[in-house]
């Protein structure tokens, strides 16, 4: 008890924020340096000449000029991935099983959030909402999305995973794939039966579309032009808040201690009076609601959601969880941010550097390649303990 | 309750298998089925009856020779005739054949050696794109985009290269299986599943994006037209003269091609089934089972697990390669859409529904899922749309108001998903379990717990 609480709960709030800052700065700096070196190497190449003739800037100036925007995009999407990856990693930590349906839990969160904003929009026009109103409405949508996603995640565990506990490893995995597919169509069916179409577009909130220049006062050439959409700020803020809350829950509360105990050894935990089933449900609730929140943030950023929206972010977030070391909360954070950065850099520069031969459409493949390489060469991830043989 | 049903079932089976009864039943069913399909080619119950009758040749106890003769008669004579009267059935049976081969290939990887593979469609895609590229004008269009394609570009190869490419498809897909297999040897279980999923997606994305810098795959539009092998004229003439009175019309060129592809698919499937049976019963097959059940002990008994795993990937992929080539030729069109994750899961559903590791089971699984997919769901959709147009009402609900979006044929994901979950919970060994697998699943629980303990160390 003393060991965990002794350092004081405040530490569990400050530590993750510092960690996140380090991760973002580190990953961003590393990617930027690699990119700048590449840009220097590419000077005078065909790509350079092409840029000179079409946009009137050299490849070096182009790379540096775009860096801030790319970094901010990478950070935004990285935090979304981190929030999803936490769901995978928590479930893996407790049950040693990949919850494939997590990507659909994410989609359910996205739909619930978008639907509630659409409902709000019918009552009161969201486009004209002021700052406080906009934040309130978005917060409400976020909560509804979290509640729905968390609820469905618990239900899924009860119906499709709990009866299979203790069976050979591949059995629950196949069941999870089944749930994932069934949920996609259940979302589609509900949406198309109630609204007549299976994709939804989030109503515009004009306040979130404003572009801010937070560093204009610095008067440094590239930095003063940094342009952040309020939307991205909201996503980053919401994600950071939630990640801190989760970290606090798991590391500094009694419930969190129970979760860690079950993850370490369910049998002993049960002997010591912890309700293992309840804790597993709770894990799904927490992981699911984080996924749902990520869904709402994703919807805010990319505006359109469809029932299959979860597949790509889901698999990328899984890649992030593996990259960071599955079962490790800090690892999921790190993995999400790194993957978001790499993806953002690939999306922004791949096309330019290869003269359009390999464009941004390869950025999904980058995530898959990272996943494959990490699993083969470092299956326990950047921060993970040794799970290679178990997996 | 369950025991009563089982007892009743046993009784019926015993009666059916008594004396000469199986011959009467099987032939009687066949005649009945053939007559229904012949007189009303569009009736779905009739077709299902026919499929049931054909399957009775297998599950009734008869003289091996007679069984074989009946099966050949049905496959070579009855199906083409009935198929010529309604080409849709040939299509259904062709798809059953294609998916049976795919499911059997996946069964070697998942069922025999216990390596979960979610990217199986990649090998199928490689086979399909292999013939799609060389059997079309694509090699001459490397530098053109979709819009600048000129219509009178010649074809790259003569159509009859197709037959060679079936074998090439086997080889190329098998090599790709090895390439995927090599790194994969380092991981097991769920990580393997994810890595194969990523691999499958990479192949699909490559197919989707390799229209530049050189136009290999023509991107999302896909490659078309792809050549079909030339029709053997003599055989067609013989077929027409013999069966003209039975079918009632001379078959058209397209129908002839349907029959041709059906025959090729049949040959490939027979070869695949033969290879699978021989493998299952060989030293290799037993080694696979040993690895699946306990890799550590298998290694201790002198089995080279890595070699055997590679072998499983090699063989499994090769079946898909052959079917891919056949698929490209029969459709004359391929696009990345065909090789999605959904398709991989569909094949996995067949394997799991039928029974992991059970050859008969897998074929039954492929048949059931294919029928469900392209026949039962389709006709259910049709039924709903007819309801919509009628004035019918049920409990005060007017079917006119039913949403157009409720189209069962588009809800395969739901059906497959629920099938997978239900099978995993209630019948993890499948409808027709393999004998060995059944033992493993009932006794394996204790072993697994021990294994977990060891792993936790």
CATH code for position A176 = 1.10.3470
Task: Name the nearest CA neighbour of A198 among A141, A115, A285, A290.
Answer: A115
Q: How far apart are CA A317 and CA A331, in angstroms?
A: 12
Would you say residue A389 lies in a domain?
Answer: no
Under a CB-based contact definition with an 8 Å cutoff, are residues B411 and B402 in contact? no
Q: Hey, how many other C-beta atoms are within 10 angstroms of the C-beta on A90?
A: 27
- Residue B33's pLDDT is 82
- Residue B81's pLDDT is 80
Residue B147: pLDDT band with limits 50, 70, 90 = low
User: Which domain, by its residues, includes A216?
Assistant: 2-377
DSSP B230: P
Would you say residue A388 lies in a domain?
Answer: no
Under a CB-based contact definition with an 8 Å cutoff, are residues B140 and B155 in contact? no
Cβ distance of A192 and B403 shorter than 8 Å: yes
| Residue in A95, A181, A364 to test binding to B, most B beta-carbons within 10 Å | A181
Under a CB-based contact definition with an 8 Å cutoff, are residues A363 and A347 in contact? yes
DSSP B355: -
State the nearest Cα–Cα gap between A386 and chain B, in angstroms.
10
Q: Is the pLDDT of residue B183 over 70?
A: yes
Which of the pair, A46 or A260, is modelled with greater confidence?
A260
CA A64 remoteness from chain centre = 26
Under a CB-based contact definition with an 8 Å cutoff, are residues A333 and A19 in contact? yes
State the nearest Cα–Cα gap between B307 and chain A, in angstroms.
18
ipTM: 0.85
Cβ distance of B445 and A166 shorter than 8 Å: yes
Task: Name the nearest CA neighbour of B108 among B339, B289, B269, B295.
Answer: B289
pLDDT tens-digit readout, A30-61: 999 998 888 888 887 777 878 777 777 778 88
Chain A, 172-201: which have a CB under 8 Å from a chain B CB? 172-175, 177-186, 188-189, 192-193, 196-198
- Residue B184's pLDDT is 73
Cβ distance of B424 and A371 shorter than 8 Å: no
Nearest CB to A185 within list B184, B195, B417:
B417
Rounded to 10 degrees, the C-alpha dihedral A366/A367/A369/A374 comes to: 140
Domain range list for chain B: 1-85, 93-356
Under a CB-based contact definition with an 8 Å cutoff, are residues B42 and B82 in contact? no
Q: Is the pLDDT of residue A145 over 60?
A: yes
Question: Can you give the C-alpha Rg of chain A in angstroms?
Answer: 22
- Residue B215's pLDDT is 81
State the nearest Cα–Cα gap between A319 and chain B, in angstroms.
9
Would you say residue A151 lies in a domain?
Answer: yes
Q: How far apart are CA B95 and CA B78, in angstroms?
A: 18
Would you say residue A254 lies in a domain?
Answer: yes
What does the pLDDT average to over A273-281?
A: 92
Residue with tokens 């791949």: A350
Read off φ and ψ for residue A304, nearest 5 degrees: -110, 135
pLDDT tens-digit readout, B325-344: 999 999 888 989 888 888 89
pLDDT tens-digit readout, A18-37: 888 998 999 999 999 998 88
Please enumerate in sequence order all residues whose Cβ is within 8 A of that of B211, keeping only pairs 6 or more positions apart, or say none. Answer: B145, B146, B217, B218, B219
Shortest CA distance from B202: residue in chain A: A365
Cβ distance of B116 and A170 shorter than 8 Å: yes
Question: Can you give the C-alpha Rg of chain B in angstroms?
Answer: 24
What does the pLDDT average to over A161-174?
A: 85
DSSP B147: T
Looking at the structure of chain A, the number of domains it has is: 1
Residues of A in contact with B414 (CB under 8 A): 181-182, 185-186, 189
Cβ distance of A179 and B417 shorter than 8 Å: yes
Would you say residue A385 lies in a domain?
Answer: no
Residue with tokens 């393999």: B434
Residue with tokens 């919807």: A299
Least confident stretch, B68-77, B120-129, B294-303: B68-77
């Amino acid at each position: 008890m003393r060991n965990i609480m002794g350092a004081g709960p405040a530490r569990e709030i400050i530590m993750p924020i510092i960690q996140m800052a380090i991760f973002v700065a580190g990953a961003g700096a590393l990617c930027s340096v690699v990119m700048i070196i590449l840009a220097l190497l590419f000077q005078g190449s065909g790509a350079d000449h092409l840029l000179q003739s079409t946009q009137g800037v050299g490849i070096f100036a182009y790379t540096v000029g775009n860096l801030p925007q790319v970094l901010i995009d990478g950070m935004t999407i990285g935090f979304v991935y981190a929030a999803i990856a936490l769901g995978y990693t928590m479930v893996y930590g407790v049950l040693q099983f990949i919850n494939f349906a997590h990507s659909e839990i994410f989609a359910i969160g996205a739909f619930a959030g978008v639907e509630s904003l659409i409902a709000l929009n019918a009552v009161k026009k969201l486009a004209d909402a002021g700052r406080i109103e906009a934040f309130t409405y978005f917060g409400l949508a976020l909560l509804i999305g979290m509640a729905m996603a968390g609820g469905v995640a618990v239900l899924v565990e009860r119906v499709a995973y709990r009866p299979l506990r203790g069976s050979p490893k591949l059995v629950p995995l196949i069941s999870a794939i089944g749930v994932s597919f069934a949920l996609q169509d259940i979302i589609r069916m509900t949406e198309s039966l109630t609204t007549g179409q299976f994709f939804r577009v989030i109503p515009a909130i004009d306040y979130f579309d404003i572009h801010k220049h937070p560093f204009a006062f610095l008067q440094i050439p590239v930095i003063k032009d940094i342009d952040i959409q309020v939307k991205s700020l909201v996503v980053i803020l919401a994600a950071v808040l939630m990640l801190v809350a989760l970290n606090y829950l798991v590391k500094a509360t009694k419930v969190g201690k129970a979760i860690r105990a079950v993850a370490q050894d369910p049998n002993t935990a049960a002997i010591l009076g912890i309700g293992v089933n309840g804790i597993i449900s709770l894990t799904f609730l927490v992981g699911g609601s984080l996924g749902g929140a990520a869904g709402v943030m994703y919807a805010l950023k990319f505006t359109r959601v469809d029932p299959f929206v979860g597949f790509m972010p889901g698999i990328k977030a899984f890649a992030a969880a593996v990259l960071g070391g599955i079962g490790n909360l800090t690892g999921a954070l790190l993995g999400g941010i790194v993957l978001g950065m790499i993806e953002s850099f690939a999306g922004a520069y791949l096309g330019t550097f290869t003269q359009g031969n390999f464009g941004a459409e390869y950025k999904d493949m980058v995530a898959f390649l990272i996943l494959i390489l990490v699993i083969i060469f470092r299956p326990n991830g950047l921060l993970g303990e040794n799970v290679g043989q178990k997996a | 309750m369950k025991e009563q049903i089982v007892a009743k079932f046993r009784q019926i089976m015993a009666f059916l298998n008594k004396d000469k009864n199986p011959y009467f039943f099987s032939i009687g069913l066949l005649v009945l089925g053939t007559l229904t399909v012949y007189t009303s080619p569009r009736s779905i119950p009739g077709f299902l009856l026919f499929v049931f009758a054909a399957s009775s040749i297998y599950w009734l106890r008869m003289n091996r020779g007679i069984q074989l003769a009946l099966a050949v008669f049905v496959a070579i004579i009855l199906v083409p005739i009935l198929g010529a009267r309604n080409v849709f059935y040939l299509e259904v049976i062709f798809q059953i054949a294609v998916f049976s081969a795919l499911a059997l290939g996946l069964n070697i990887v998942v069922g025999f050696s216990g390596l979960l593979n979610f990217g199986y469609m990649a090998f199928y895609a490689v086979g399909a794109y292999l013939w799609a590229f060389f059997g079309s004008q694509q090699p001459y269009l490397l530098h053109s985009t979709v819009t600048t394609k000129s219509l009178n570009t010649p074809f790259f190869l003569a159509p009859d290269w197709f037959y060679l490419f079936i074998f090439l498809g086997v080889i190329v897909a098998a090599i790709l299986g090895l390439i995927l297999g090599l790194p994969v040897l380092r991981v097991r279980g769920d990580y393997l599943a994810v890595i194969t999923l990523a691999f499958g997606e990479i192949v699909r994305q490559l197919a989707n994006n390799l229209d530049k810098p050189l136009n290999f795959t023509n991107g999302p539009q896909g490659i078309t037209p792809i050549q079909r092998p030339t029709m053997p004229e003599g055989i067609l003439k013989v077929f027409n003269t013999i069966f003209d009175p039975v079918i009632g019309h001379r078959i058209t060129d397209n129908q002839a091609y349907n029959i041709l592809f059906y025959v090729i698919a049949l040959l490939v499937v027979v070869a695949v089934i033969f290879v699978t049976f021989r493998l299952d019963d060989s030293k290799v097959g037993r080694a696979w089972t040993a690895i699946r059940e306990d890799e550590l002990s298998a290694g201790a008994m002198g089995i080279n697990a890595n070699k055997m795993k590679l072998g499983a990937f090699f063989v499994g992929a090769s079946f898909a390669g052959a079917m891919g080539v056949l698929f490209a030729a029969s459709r004359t069109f391929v696009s990345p859409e065909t090789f999605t994750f959904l398709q991989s899961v569909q094949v996995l559903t067949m394997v799991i529904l039928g029974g992991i590791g059970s050859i008969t089971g897998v074929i039954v699984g492929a048949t059931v899922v294919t029928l469900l997919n392209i026949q039962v769901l389709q006709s259910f959709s049709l039924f709903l749309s007819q309801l919509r147009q009628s004035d019918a009402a049920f409990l005060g609900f007017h079917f006119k108001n039913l949403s157009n979006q409720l189209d069962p044929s588009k809800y395969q994901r739901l059906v497959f998903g629920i099938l997978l979950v239900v099978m995993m919970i209630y019948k993890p060994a499948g409808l027709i379990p393999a004998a060995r697998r059944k033992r493993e699943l009932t006794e394996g629980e204790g072993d697994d717990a021990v294994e977990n303990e060891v792993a936790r160390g």
